[in-house]
Amino acid sequence: MVDETNGGSGIIGMEFPLLYYLHGKLSLWFGFHPGLGRAITLVISCLGLFYFYALIRRFVSEKHAFYSTILFMVSCFFMYSRKVMPDTAALAVYIIGMFYFFEAFCRGEKRYIFLSFLFLSLGLLLKISMLPLWSFLFFAYLYYRNKPKKAWVMLIPVLSLIPAFLWYFVWNPYLEGTYGNWYNLGGSWTNGASVLLHKPLTLLHHLVFHPFFGFFGFCAGMYGIYRAWNHGVDRSVWISLVVFLVLFAAYALKSGAIFISHDYYILPLVPVLSLLAGWGIASTGKYAWLVMAIIASESLGNQWHDLSWNENEAYKLSLKTLADQHIPSKALVAINGNSNPQELFFLNRKGWNVSNDQCQQEPFIKAIKAKGCRFLVCNTRSVPCPTFLGKIVAEDENYCLLELK
């Protein structure tokens, strides 16, 4: 656990903490290791791939479903499915909920109704960024407009919004108001639009490159749209796609600068692009395998660095020794992690994750010292050691440790 609640209670509203709860329980039995969290996310994500194939196979050919699933597997979903973060697990769980929705929609069986509500609700609770995929409801209504169905089952996706609304917009604001810890619910849409429009090339690169960590995958998606347009695809596809893009745009505007600075914010778009690109690849006939191989090679090649030891970041592991030797376990600390909690995690101490600028500002440091902060750890690769703020306790080529005066 990383406690960066500025020396406060340690209580902060975030995503629904089911994955972290499972990680904690398993750690009691097997001892703590990040690999446990990775394994939980990986298992759920892999399960989501099977359900993704089964879901789209209801509506497209076997070949189309196959290539779409392979594309989904080698997309950025590949890299993030092995991290201790809820994004790919939330996406997988939501896809499972969509699969059971269509089972319930066509059959009306109670078990499918329950499973649909459970997984759709849980997917949104794990990560509210899955909301743009709610557009599948429009597809279901239009695609089955003249087919046998249990129309009242369409209430399930609507009801699944309630737990997420209560969690993110009632419970989390309550925690923030009671304990003073901030949860990021984004900014205004106008501010987000201003930020994104001032960086059009960065936004374009983010939308084109990051879904598949390459350009060929996005090109295949555009070709898939072209093929669909020429073959007179049912209006249910186009209307639901437009609804998805509207919801996704609203999500991007609400996220603002964070949307283009965090690659994984693009994840809700990936299954849609994979479905479109799979359409394009499947239509290339005997060249489909070659096209798929080119896309997979580019995508996995650009993600391979995430599977190797990062020598440039390894120096941060020295923080554990630094803390064990010089910082009492209950002491509050500050470190210039610049919003990345990684270094505070390695310190295994509670405290403040500050910016480089805050690390150099005497009034700010005095203010957090008044709240109980005793030590400042400065990453001197980023900024010079602010010796004017306190006494140097320890120093090496990467960090200096100050006891605040």
The strands making up 399-404's β-sheet, listed across from edge to edge, are: 351-353, 332-335, 373-379, 399-404, 390-395
Is 48's pLDDT higher than 90? yes
pLDDT at 34: 81
For the chain, how far is it from start to end, CA to CA, in angstroms? 29
pLDDT at 7: 55
pLDDT tens digit string along 253-269?
A: 988 888 888 889 999 99
Instruction: Report yes or no: 122 and 97 within 8 Å, Cβ to Cβ.
Output: yes
Is 166's pLDDT higher than 90? yes
Query: How confident is the model over 272-290, as a mean pLDDT?
Result: 94
pLDDT tens digit string along 331-343?
A: 999 999 887 888 9
pLDDT at 6: 58
Q: What is the mean pLDDT of the chain?
A: 91
Cα–Cα dist 207/296, whole Å: 18
Choose the weakest-confidence range: 37-46, 293-302, 380-389.
Answer: 380-389
Is 148's pLDDT higher than 90? no
Q: Give me the percent of the chain exceeding a pLDDT of 70.
A: 96
Choose the weakest-confidence range: 6-15, 128-137, 265-274, 385-394.
Answer: 6-15
Instruction: Please report, as a single letter, which amino acid is at residue 253.
Output: L
Is 8's pLDDT higher than 70? no
Instruction: Report yes or no: 300 and 74 within 8 Å, Cβ to Cβ.
Output: yes
